[in-house]
Amino acid sequence: MKAPHSQYWNWTAKREKKAFLALEDGSIFRGYSVGFSHDRVGEVVFNTGMTGYQEILSDPSYSGQLVTLTYPEIGNTGINQDDMESRGMFARGLIVHDYNKQSNWRAEESLSSWLSRHEVPAISGIDTRALTIRLREKGTLKGCLAVSGSLTEEEAVALAQNWEGLDNQDYAARVSCDKVQQWDVDGSISRSWGITENLPATDLQIVAYDFGIKWNILRSLRISGMAVTLVPAKTPARDVLAMKPDGVFLSNGPGDPAAVTYAIAAARELIGKVPLMGICLGHQILALALGGKTSRLKFGHHGCNHPVKNLLTGRVEITSQNHNFALEHDSLDSTKIDITHINLNDQTIEGISHRSEPLFSVQYHPEACPGPHDPFYLFDRFRSLIEGIKV
């Protein structure tokens, strides 16, 4: 019997495209290349989501990272333009157990082709369960994805060890837009949400800092009746205030929040002058501007199944998350700042609000729809916060 095409492709790739992942602790995981043939170093993390690899790879928050997917079968749904979260691919590499050819009616391109076109390496055929266990036990590790065939295992380990890593590195400026722009409400909403004719009028003007913003955040703000002006990460607060916005949004993004000093300074200047909302990196930046501190988690939160308790309502939300740093409980001034959300897995801070200033932030992603819509109320909360000030 003739072998199915996808099975034949895997056999051929295993034989002809041998590759390996080398970790800084000397561990080697062998497999075969399914992406661009170029070696790459990065921070190795694991994501527990069963679906959404295209959204993960196109999320700028994954810049600098080699993403391990714990779900074993990857590639079946292919790639399509509707599911993009940004203008391109930002993860440094992809690590999967078993790559499959696409077999979905929405697919416009294969995952392998998309990876190669964006010059992102990927490896398949490795024991991702063993890799995930190692990362959980030892913590996040630096790695080298060796797919070109030109590196020895010893050389790859040395490259991983010598890479600067993400600590104290400003990645937000690397992924941000380069000019002020209006979020264009066109096919980007209609294709993904199917709502062009029934969109509400935009009665609020929002300025959003782009530290690596996801398109679904922009869509969510627009669906909530807010017109959005996007500004680069290093835009001074005075320039934002000169636009006379009704509110300012601090976006998600990659890297170490303490390294984004210009954003912390801008947020500090904006506090008390305009309503503020932050998500993920924006949440951390806002907390740092309020005098808080952040520290690295052992292996981070990466997935779409994290339970978060809203301490204001008692409800539990199933959330999407991607971050390696978290706020330190004891660093926040409890006389001014309330902790509003807690991660039920490890009790880390997932949300804060100020008692006297119009601002709040959350660590997780309310636009990512894992619940599927548990946290979407946060965009309405931002509206209510602004409307309360305008009254």
d(CA 244, CA 163): 43
Identify whether 367 is a catalytic site residue: yes
Structure tokens at 67: 């993403």
Tokens 């890593």: give the residue.
165
Enumerate the β-bridge partners of residue 279.
362
Tokens 């020895």: give the residue.
152
Catalytic residue among 302, 306, 341, 365: 365
Residue 243 CA: distances (Å) to CA of 238, 248, 347, 360? 9, 11, 39, 21
Identify whether 97 is a catalytic site residue: no
For 94, residues 6+ apart whose C-beta sits below 8 A from its C-beta are: 35, 53, 57, 66, 67, 69, 115, 120, 121, 122, 123
Which letter, b or e, does each residue of 169-201 get, where b requires 16 or more Cβ atoms within 10 Å of its Cβ? ebbbbbbbbeeeeebebeebbeeeeeeeeeeee
d(CA 294, CA 362): 14
Tokens 């200033």: give the residue.
357
Catalytic residue among 24, 43, 317, 367: 367
Residue 361 CA: distances (Å) to CA of 22, 39, 251, 350? 37, 37, 10, 8
> How many Cα atoms sit within 13 Å of 185 on the Cβ side?
23
Instruction: List, as own/partner pairs, every contact residues 11-18 make where C-beta atoms lie below 8 angstroms and the sequence separation is at least 24, other chains included.
Output: 13/99, 13/124, 14/125, 17/147, 18/149
- Tell me which DSSP letter residue 79 carries: B
**Nearest Cα to 167, choosing from 107, 256, 236?**
256
Catalytic residue among 24, 144, 280, 302: 280
Tell me which residues are annotated as active site.
280, 365, 367
